[in-house]
Amino acid sequence: MTLPGSPHVAYRGGELFVEDCALGRLARRFGTPLYVYSRSAMLAALAGYQRALAGRDHLICYAMKANSNLAVLQIFAQAGCGFDIVSGGELERVLAAGGDAAKVVFSGVGKTRAEMARALEAGVACFNVESESELELLSQVAVQVGRTARISLRVNPDVDPKTHPYISTGLKGNKFGVAHERAVATYRRAATLPGIEVAGIDCHIGSQITETGPYLDALDRVLDLVESVEAHGITLHHLDLGGGLGITYTDEQPPAAEALVKAMLARIDTRGHGHRKIVLEPGRSLVGNAGVLVASVLYLKPGGAKNFCIVDAAMNDLMRPAMYEAWMSIVSCTLRDEPPQTMDVVGPVCESGDWLGRDRHLAVQPGDTVAVLSAGAYGMSMASNYNTRGRAAEVMVSGAQAWLIRDREAPADLFRGEHLLPR
């Protein structure tokens, strides 16, 4: 059986493996629901970007909102990556994982005064500023704490990334970035502000992008702006081209990271900007196909219009299907020699939106385990405790080794910090 996504997830003798670890055995050892990640798959995905950028002044900043487990951050930090963060909490995770604050870019439309001050204290590389009012506040905070804030403006190029509307970020109607027509004036203002040093320009148009065209369209608009800004005597040292490259969930055919980056570099060189440092912010494409969510089959429930496979993973464990109506491949961890049945794979949460897959063909029985593939991105990082359900455990594998990298939450963990009223 050919599986979509990473070659590090494959069947051997009827058993589904991640690298050299059988998922059924991991489920028995660590319990379910269980996220399992392949270290080799993450590093292989990163290698495509690294090959394309070899010999160039560059920084690859992992967009950690995709998966922020400390062990995942550790792997990328040890591989030389920086990090794209969107909150003060994410900065603390980077530091706890051994990451270098000097390789951090701070994105996000709603940075608070406290987050700015902490990031300046830690010495982040750059703030990706997303509004004129944010720029003014950052200047004030930098002066107050006696630091200089290096900034890029995140420019909204009004380019359609041709992806889900919830993860499109570069159109006029999106909340992100400074409008293209306001960018030059905002850079001119930034150049006059105390505590601010203009460093570069930033653009990120969305996520799960599967075509090269939108990237090149946005890049051309960014380079037009670079030339306009520098005509006013303001030097832009780096080009932050964002991330958003899609992965294969079913039959998508996104460009390989190496091919995409080389196409962008060729456009940059052709237009005479090859001397600038390149910053990239990949997230999903580094971790998405590296992870699976393993769940146990609780019940098979025939119905008048639908058959249901009820598993112990739910929308609180994996939000993408309910939130985006995302299609994710679901397969059995042990192949059975019996005909498959068509059924919806659903969880125990008390919502009709609690489904992981509709109309799937599975040959399973209660007690079996199934795997939701390509679940390494926006799975655990979006998980919640809805219905007072503890979040899943997480495991990292490398070859035949497996490490528990996050404990399963117990009920007491969920209401720690809550308080009863006085009697």
Q: Which residues are catalytic?
A: 350
Name the phi and psi angles at 277, rounded to 5: -70, 140
**In Å, how far are 291, 294, 391 from 379, measured between CA atoms?**
9, 12, 11
| CA–CA dist 198, 214 (Å, integer) | 26
| Residue 332, C-beta contacts closer than 8 angstroms, at least 6 positions apart | 16, 362, 363, 364, 368, 369, 370, 371
Our CA angle for 117, 119, 120, nearest 5°, is 65
| Residue 113, C-beta contacts closer than 8 angstroms, at least 6 positions apart | 137, 141
Structural element, H or E, at residue 132? helix 132-145
359, exposed or middle or buried, with CB in 10 Å at 0-12, 13-18, 19+? exposed
Positive or negative CA dihedral for 129, 194, 104, 70? negative
Strands 58-63 and 277-280: what pairing?
A: parallel
| CA–CA dist 59, 320 (Å, integer) | 29
Strand partners, 238: 200, 277
| CA–CA dist 189, 78 (Å, integer) | 38
Structural element, H or E, at residue 37? strand 34-38
